Amino acid sequence: MVWLTVNGRPTEVAADDDTPLLWLLRETLGLTGTKVGCTSGQCGACSVLVEGRAARSCQLPANSLGDQRITTVEGLGGPLAERLKAAWIAHQVPQCGYCQPGMLVSAVALLSATPEPTPAEIAATLTNLCRCGTFDRISAAIRQASQPPAPPPPQP
């Protein structure tokens, strides 16, 4: 048995200690928004947040996580995630859509750490693969979501 804290909820799941987190999320907890792409950490389709940082869940043995907080695409919330989702829709980013949950999770991690990333910082962080070639729209959506909200009008 392994204890995990997923999307704010502590959960005990039956698993071998070294089962990658990806499979516990998908097969045991039914959180299928986290996609399986390569099972070798190369593609990023399985990206989740571990303590707010992006990680590839196919490379995380269940017993390595301790009580760290795990967030999947289903658990993304708050103003930043909502801003990113809105930007993703505004720019009609997905094509086939398979890589997009991982992209969005990675974008949340990026903007959490670096609210106004440079193009180079976006490129260095968003190393996830997309076979449809939606990169330009991903960049545009991230730029839109990273714009600081308009300042309140000056008080007289």
Partner 1 sequence: MSDDLPPSPILKLSRRQLLHGAPIAAGSLVLGVTLPGLPALAAPPSFKPTLVTINAWLRLSSREIVVAVPQAEMGQGIMTSLALLVAEELECDWTMVAAELVAPDPAYLNPVLGQVATGESSSLRTTFLPLRRAGAAARLMLTAAAARLWRVPVAECLARAGTVSHPASGRTAGYGALAASAARQPVPEPGAIVLKERARWSLIGHSVPRLDVPAKVDGSAPFALDLALPGLVSAAIRHAPQFGATVTGINDSVARSWPGVIAVVALADAVAVVAQRWHQAQRALKEVTVSWSAPPPELVADDAAALARLRAGLAERNPVITAERGAVEVALKGAERVIAAEYRLPFLAHAPLEPTNATARVTPERCEVWLPTQAPGPLQALLAERLGLKPAQVLVHPTLVGGSFGRRREADAALEAALISRQVGGRPVRLMWSREEDFRHDYYRPAAVVGIQVALDHERRIAAWRQRVVAPSVLARTAPEKVRDGGEPLVTAGIADQPYLIPALRVEYVRCNLGVPVGYWRSDGHSINAFAVECMIDEVAAALHQDPLHLRRNLLAQDSRAMRVLNRAASLIGWGTALPAASPTSRRGRGLACHSTAGTLVAVAAEVTLGDDGVLAVDRLIAVADCGTVVHPDAVEGQLRGGLIFALGATLEQKISLQDGQVTAAGFDDFPLPRLGRLPEITIEVVPSEAGQGGIGEVAVPPLAPAIVNAVSSALGRRVRVLPLSEADLSRSAG
Residues forming contacts to partner 1 in the complex (CB under 8 A) are: 16, 19-20, 23, 26-27, 30, 32-40, 42-43, 45, 72-74, 85, 88-89, 92-101, 104, 119-120, 122-124, 126-127, 129-139
- To partner 1, the closest distance from the beta carbon of 156 in angstroms equals 41
- Pick 133 or 152: Cβ nearer partner 1: 133
Does an H or E element contain 92, and which? none
- To partner 1, the closest distance from the beta carbon of 52 in angstroms equals 18
The amino acid at 97: G
- To partner 1, the closest distance from the beta carbon of 6 in angstroms equals 14
Residue 101 near residue 76 (C-beta atoms within 8 A): no
Q: 99 by DSSP, 3-state: which?
A: coil
- To partner 1, the closest distance from the beta carbon of 20 in angstroms equals 7
- Pick 14 or 150: Cβ nearer partner 1: 14
- Pick 112 or 121: Cβ nearer partner 1: 121
- Pick 27 or 51: Cβ nearer partner 1: 27
- Pick 142 or 150: Cβ nearer partner 1: 142
Question: What dihedral angle (degrees, nearest 10) is formed by the CA atoms of 20, 25, 30, 36?
Answer: -60
- To partner 1, the closest distance from the beta carbon of 150 in angstroms equals 24
Q: Which residues in 43-64 are b (16+ Cβ under 10 Å) and which e? A: bbbbbbbbeeebbbbbebebee
Quickly tell me which residue has 């045991």 as its tokens.
Answer: 28
Phi, psi of 40 (to 5 degrees): -135, 15
The amino acid at 130: C
